[in-house]
Amino acid sequence: MTSKRNILVTGGLGFIGSHTVLCLHEAGYCPVIIDNLHNSRMEVLNALTELLGYRPEFIEGDVNDGQLLDTLFQQYQFDAVIHFAAHKAVGESVEQPLMYYRNNVVGLVSLLESMQKAGCNRMVFSSSCTVYGEPESVPVKESTPTRPAASPYGATKQMAEVILKDNGWCSIQCLRYFNPVGAHPTAKIGELPLGIPNNLIPFLTQTVAGIREKLTVYGGDYSTSDGTCIRDYIHVMDLAEAHVSAIDRLFLENKSTPETPGDPSKGHFEVFNIGTGVGYSVLEVINAFEATTGEQVNYAIGDRRAGDVVAVWADTEKVNSVLGWKAKRNLETMMRDAWNWQKNC
Ligand code: WQD
């Protein structure tokens, strides 16, 4: 009987973390959640318990608490870590940069110190397409040069990647997310924006649900087909499955052949764009939502939002071929699941 591999999931009650916990269990891993509940709720743990059929291991805590981390690494002997725990609101990062540097950068260093002490040398890291800034060309490849970040949030992700690249003892799969949207098909877990949503889809669904009066489309005069910004929206379930593929790959290294990361003790850093490879404009998303749900979105074109890039979407050739992962869910499915979640939450 092979014992299951223990995976520490930091921020595991968050939007992407909670969906990944489900996929890890289904893939035969044992997820252990640590979350400080800054941007999540205990209701998510109850929903996961219902979906899993058992209550997953959960510790309320912060990655900046090195003593707690050391205790957990001794207790669970983690085989790998998936690090989600970070603040992620671009606008908030502009207002409170130090909170972002402490949580997203110092928190990462604290986690890495505990991992190194415990001899845990495998990590999947949650990065972001934000590191590309306004790309010189689209679709963006992993080799596309990063640009100066447009916000402290983006800067923390760039700094985190530098820290991870500099390590010489850990094997790291760095996943650059594009725009995660949607929810679990049961609508029992999904995106829980606390307060006024920054992101398009939760604001859109809250508008249709009558919680918000009107959706403002930030800018209708960009150099795109319909004047609105283009993004690569990816279903959160596809994104969660990509994390399992990355974890699987980290354990391939025992057969260190050219196509696997090799020996983790020598350090290894791989970057993957996790997107669908298709870009949609804001108006195309609104139209897809209305066509899929039959609901009307009350929106108006307004001023541009500072910091927005005009267009960014992923070249997914590397993740398709090296990680063997490809997004399966289309925009209509994303809209359907986002709306079902809104109605249920
Ligand atoms: C998408 C588009 C807006 C709200 C952010 C993070 C990024 C990543 C994904 C983590 C833009 C427009 C939005 C609204 C609008 N997160 N919009 N009205 O800014 O592309 O990326 O989420 O990895 O790091 O920066 O996402 O959903 O805010 O915006 O018109 O009320 O929708 O202008 O064109 P963004 P978003």
What number does the ligand 1 atom closest to the CA of 228 have?
34
Residue 243 CA to ligand 1 centre (angstroms): 22
More confident residue, 231 or 168: 231
- The C-alpha atoms of residue 129 and residue 244 are separated, in whole angstroms, by 20
Share of the chain above pLDDT 90, in %: 84
**Looking at the predicted structure, is the pLDDT value of residue 265 above 80?**
no
- Which one from 29, 100, 132, 153 is the annotated catalytic residue? 153
- Whose CA is closest to atom 4 on ligand 1? 200
Query: Average pLDDT, stretch 236-253?
Result: 93
In a domain, 255, yes or no: yes
Cα distances from 274 to residues 25, 61, 85, 112, 277, in angstroms, run 21, 28, 18, 23, 9
Instruction: Quote the tokens at residue 287.
Output: 């139209």
In a domain, 319, yes or no: yes
Query: Average pLDDT, stretch 121-148?
Result: 94
Share of the chain above pLDDT 70, in %: 96
Instruction: Quote the tokens at residue 4.
Output: 């299951």
- The C-alpha atoms of residue 135 and residue 129 are separated, in whole angstroms, by 10
Burial 169-179 (b: 16+ CB within 10 A, else e): ebbbbbbbbbb
Tally of domains in the chain: 1
- Mean pLDDT lowest for which of 145-154, 220-229, 275-284? 145-154
Note down the domain range covering 217: 6-344
> How many CB atoms are closer than 10 A to CB 115?
23
CA dihedral 129, 124, 144, 135 (to 10 degrees): 10
Verify whether residue 153 is a known catalytic residue.
Answer: yes
- Choice from 200, 224, 310 to test ligand 1 binding pocket (greatest atom count within 8 A of CB): 200
In a domain, 20, yes or no: yes
Is residue 157 within 6 Å of ligand 1 at its C-beta? no
The tens digit of pLDDT for each residue in 290-333 reads: 999 999 999 999 999 987 899 999 999 999 999 999 999 999 99
Query: Average pLDDT, stretch 58-84?
Result: 98
Radius of gyration of the chain (CA): 19
Instruction: Determine contact, residues 93/87, Cβ cutoff 8 Å.
Output: yes
Residue 1: pLDDT band with limits 50, 70, 90: very low
Strands (E), the chain: 6-10, 30-35, 57-60, 80-83, 122-128, 171-177, 179-181, 215-218, 230-231, 233-235, 268-274, 280-281, 299-302
In a domain, 72, yes or no: yes
In a domain, 100, yes or no: yes
Sign of the Cα pseudo-torsion (282, 330, 241, 193, in order): positive
**Looking at the predicted structure, is the pLDDT value of residue 87 above 80?**
yes
pLDDT of residue 91: 79
Please report, for the domain that includes residue 296, its CATH number.
3.40.50.720
In a domain, 253, yes or no: yes
Per DSSP bridges, beta strands 230-231 and 280-281 are antiparallel
In a domain, 1, yes or no: no
Q: In the block, which residue shows the tokens 């640009």?
A: 147
Per DSSP bridges, beta strands 80-83 and 6-10 are parallel
- Choice from 15, 199, 280 to test ligand 1 binding pocket (greatest atom count within 8 A of CB): 199
pLDDT of residue 254: 55
Which helix H or strand E contains 118, and what residues bound it?
Answer: helix 107-118
In a domain, 185, yes or no: yes
